Amino acid sequence: MTKQTEPAIHPFLYNNEWKESATGNTVDIYSPDNGNLVGSVPAMSQDEVNDAVNLTADVQENWAATEVHERSDLLHRWADELDSMADEIGAMIQLEVGKTFSSAKSEVKRTAQLIRHTAEEGLRTHGSFIQGDAFPGASRSTKAMVQKVPHGVVLAISPFNYPVNLAASKIAPALVTGNTVVFKPATQGAISGILMVKALVKAGLPKGVLNIVTGRGSVIGDFVVTHDKLDMITFTGGTATGQHIAKQASMIPVVLELGGKDPAIVLSDADLKKAAKEIVGGAFSYSGQRCTAIKRVMVMNDVADELAEEIRSHVANLKVGYSTDDADIIPMIDQKSADFVTALIDDAKAKGATVVHTGAHEKNLLSPTVLDHVTEDMDVAWEEQFGPVLPIMRVESELEAIDLEKRNEYGLQASIFTTDMETAFTLSERMNVGTVQINGKTSRGPDHFPFLGVKNSGQGVQGIGRSIDSMLRDKVIVLNL
């Protein structure tokens, strides 16, 4: 489906004008599939980033003064434009981040649905009214009107793996609540993010309400994050980057969705065929480059052999190739990430892990690898692999699995496979994670469910309703009658 377009510079949006950097500097983006140049984005200077944030701040009051139904209508029109550009944007996602075309297009369609749902939820945002007489010494004649008001200027920073969806899931709730937005896309994925914003401009985005900043996060990141006109930051990406941003941001609210090491805990009474299917889908989709990928299995000793064999048989059927082959396992985003995964596999093998399944590793295309008998001294037991390797750890008891889970630095999601619902709920309560999936793979959706990580997996909550909440603060007006 994908046709390689002529590599071009893709300008950033400033005041609804598409501009190149006055410096002439650009950042090149190469396809993970074949290393070809996909295109470039401007490497904006600090002055240009500064202008973008200032403009976003200048127009915020006017944007917040618009009626919420108008802002909601804009989102509906944006969703329609995205639907009509789904092939074009899907093709660019495929080129930039190496997803298959069908999964890239699904990302765009899912995003349109998310925006529509956000437009609807945004209409139903209300404050509250409190009477004073509940507190001793105050009376009913003192009344508080608690309004919900936007923070102001929101900086939205997205990761490479869902360059459209994880950008829009920040931008849409920000806009519908009256915030204006500075959008910093991941460099790998920036062109897809720019196309997504083209759809928003077509839908009637007023001038200055969203501006884009492009350039490497390592170069412009600290400057934009510490800009004094920012009122809130919403970020998805790696834990180290998120922690760095949180420190820099200091006093403004920051929502962070970070890494994970989601375990699948398989108990002796589980439906092993179903568990294996879910685990393989959860671990290897998009070659494991998902924060919510299942990143380790903890299985009871007495069913470990059978589960490992079920997992092996599913993994053996995964098609390894390129996004253009519609493969299940596609090249990793870059060579550095592939080298990291290879080092984890080598470390585990050297320390005694057994290889249940593997295959050829060529450049950044790694065949899926399943490791069994993984033990605590191996890096793959703890590090977020973000790639196509699945460690299996054998445990003696549920308590051992809970203990292993509790001692890891992440707390995004966990899956429990069992036919005993009472045990499932008991274990769920003991797990220090944002979400527990019972008899299903770890995953963010449906997109209106709350989505959060604890410990080093994040702070704050996303998911449509909660994302809207995060874009608002209380403003209290007290009537003293």
Binding site for ligand NAP (CB under 6 A): 157-161, 166, 184, 186-187, 216-218, 221-222, 225, 236-238, 241, 244-245, 257-260, 291, 384, 386, 412, 453, 458
Does residue 466 interact with ligand G3P by CB under 6 A? no
Please tell me whether residue 415 binds ligand G3P under the rule CB under 6 A: no
* Angle formed by the axes of helices 68-84 and 190-202, nearest 10°: 120
Among 444, 452, 455, 466, binds ligand G3P (CB under 6 A): 444
For every residue of 150-161, DSSP letters joined together read E-SEEEEE--SS
> How much is the CA Rg of the chain, to the nearest whole Å?
23
Strand partners for 18: 13
Kindly state whether residue 60 participates in binding ligand G3P, applying the rule CB under 6 A. no
Instruction: Pick between residue 152 and residue 237 the one whose CB is nearest to ligand G3P.
Output: 237
Check if the beta carbon of residue 89 is closer than 8 Å to that of residue 194: no
**Of 98, 169, 167, 164, nearest in space to 337 by CA:** 98
Least distance from C-beta 220 to ligand NAP, angstroms? 8
Strand-pair category, 354-357 with 369-372: antiparallel
β partners of residue 370: 357, 390
The minimum distance between CB 443 and ligand G3P, in angstroms, equals 4
For residue 390, give the 3-state DSSP assignment. strand
Tokens of residue 5, six digits: 């377009």
Q: Is 156 in the site for ligand G3P (CB under 6 A)?
A: no
Report the residue number, 144 or 461, with the smaller CB distance to ligand NAP: 461
Residue 157 binds which entry of ligand G3P, ligand NAP, none, CB below 5-8 Å type-dependent: ligand NAP
Q: Residue 14 binds which entry of ligand G3P, ligand NAP, none, with Cβ cut-offs from 5 to 8 Å by kind?
A: none
**Token pair listed for 270:** 């589980």
Please name the residue that has the structure tokens 């920036």.
190
52 binds, among ligand NAP, ligand G3P, none (CB under 5 to 8 A by kind): none
Task: CB nearer to ligand NAP: give 27 or 348.
Answer: 27
129/125 Cα distance (integer angstroms): 14
163 vs 215 by CB, closer to ligand G3P: 163
CA 173 to chain centroid: 15
**257: annotated active-site residue:** yes
State which residue, 81 or 384, has the beta carbon closest to ligand G3P. 384
Angle between helices 217-225 and 239-249 (to 10 degrees): 30
Task: For 238, list phi and psi in degrees, rounded to 5.
Answer: -70, 155
**Single-letter code of the amino acid located at 124:** R
- Residue 244 contacts which entry, ligand G3P, ligand NAP, none (Cβ below 5-8 A, type-dependent): ligand NAP
Binders of ligand G3P among residues 286 to 305 (CB under 6 A) are 290-292
Q: Which of ligand NAP, ligand G3P, none does residue 443 bind (CB under 5 to 8 Å by kind)?
A: ligand G3P
Q: From the centroid of its chain, how far is CA 395? A: 31
Instruction: State yes or no: residue 162 binds ligand G3P (CB under 6 A).
Output: yes
Cβ proximity to ligand NAP: between 61 and 222 the closer is 222
Tokens of 8: 């071009």
**Which of ligand NAP, ligand G3P, none interacts with 445 (beta carbon under 5 to 8 A by kind)?**
ligand G3P
Of 81, 257, 278, 405, which residue is the catalytic one?
A: 257
Instruction: Quickly tell me which residue has 């959060």 as its tokens.
Output: 452
Cα distance between residue 470 and residue 91, in whole Å: 32
13 with 212: CB under 8 angstroms?
Answer: yes
Q: Give yes or no for residue 446 binding ligand G3P (CB under 6 A).
A: no
Between 222 and 309, name the residue whose CB sits nearer to ligand NAP.
222
Instruction: Tell me if 443 contacts ligand G3P by CB under 6 A.
Output: yes
Residues that bind ligand G3P (CB under 6 A): 161-162, 290-292, 443-445
Q: Which residues are catalytic?
A: 257
